[in-house]
Amino acid sequence: MYGDLGEVMEGCNKRPSDFPNFKILTEDYVNRCTDLCGKIMRGIALALGAPMDTFEEDRARDPFWVLHVIGYPVVYHANGKEMPKLENDVGCGAHTDYGLVNQEDDINALQVRNSDGEWISVILIPSTFVCNIGDMLKILTNDLYETTLHRVINSSPKYGVCVAYLIIKVQFVLVGIM
């Protein structure tokens, strides 16, 4: 169907050639994130009163994942003065994700909207992950879990980086709602 381009969602990953360990390190990181997500999903299944493997086996074959490395520039000029209209300087506008886990650095730029519609800053704990309830989990739980609306506003005086690992453990499979 796609000729030399391959099938949908298939293809070689582009990696920098200047960093010989990049492939090994990123593949190890992805494997660890995939394992972490599996553990989280087993815990969620148990919390729902379902068997631990509810989100695995036939329903979770060939999970789809994406690893994003996202940079958020500072919102201050080099002279330390704020840029005009700081409240409008959003590194990433309000959105939901389809997958499950993000790892942020230490700039505390992530904000989530609470049930009252207020934006609250996520206080990051070093060397931890932010577990994001994405669209996938909302659908699988028949809206029991609500998708997390979030945004990024980097008001820090330093450049911020987010490594976002997003996984869909159930794809192209007909599943019943819980």
Walk along the chain (178 residues) and give the pLDDT tens digit of each residue. 445 655 655 666 677 778 889 889 989 999 998 888 889 888 988 999 988 888 776 665 667 788 888 888 776 555 556 555 555 556 788 999 887 766 666 678 889 999 999 999 988 888 888 888 888 888 878 889 889 899 888 877 788 888 888 887 655 444 555 5
| Number of domains observed in the structure of the chain | 1
CA trace torsion 92, 93, 96, 98 (10° rounding): -40
What's the CATH number where 95 sits? Answer: 2.60.120.330
Domain housing 127: 64-168
In a domain, 122, yes or no: yes
Number of other residues whose CB lies within 10 A of the CB of residue 37: 23
In a domain, 160, yes or no: yes
User: What is d(CA 73, CA 87) in angstroms, rounded to the nearest whole number?
Assistant: 15
In a domain, 45, yes or no: no
Is pTM, for the whole model, over 0.85?
Answer: no
Number of other residues whose CB lies within 10 A of the CB of residue 146: 12
In a domain, 112, yes or no: yes
In a domain, 118, yes or no: yes
Write out the DSSP string of 115-149.
Answer: TTS-EEE----TT--EE---HHHHHHTTTSSPP--
Tell me the CA end-to-end span of the chain in Å, nearest whole number. 35
